[in-house]
Amino acid sequence: MAYAIMHFFPGGTKEQYEASIAAVHPSRNSLPKGQIFHLAGPSAGGWTIVAVHDSKESWEQFRDGVLMPQMQKGITGGFTKPPQETAFEVHNLQK
């Protein structure tokens, strides 16, 4: 079952997003293994990122194997604080 993650970075900026995504995605034109959807943009008071993975396990592999290690090392110009996270199993995904 698909699994969605929404991250809100209070005070986050486009520049921080661009630096962070460059560090954790394989390229600008491809998604990490298991990720099937990605969107991001400015929102009230910060920056929001929404990703959908093909399963919760896929999300956890990306989170634990790529995202968290990179964020713990620090990403020059990237987000400086952990996001507020909302995650849920997807009931309906239309493409």
Q: Tens digit of pLDDT for each residue in 22-57?
A: 999 989 889 999 999 999 999 999 999 999 999 999
Query: Does 67 score more than 90 pLDDT?
Result: yes
Q: Between the CA of residue 55 and those of 16, 51, 88, what are the distances in Å? A: 27, 11, 10
Among 7-16, 26-35, 55-64, the least confident range: 26-35
Which ranges in the chain belong to alpha helices (H)?
14-24, 56-62, 68-73
- Report the pLDDT averaged over residues 84-95: 95
The pLDDT of residue 28 is 85
The residues near 59 (Cβ < 8 Å, ≥ 6 apart) are 3, 5, 34, 51, 53, 87
- The beta strand positions in the chain, using DSSP E, are 3-10, 35-43, 46-53, 84-89
Among 27-31, 57-61, 63-67, the least confident range: 27-31
Nearest alpha carbon to residue 2 among 86, 79, 74, 87: 87
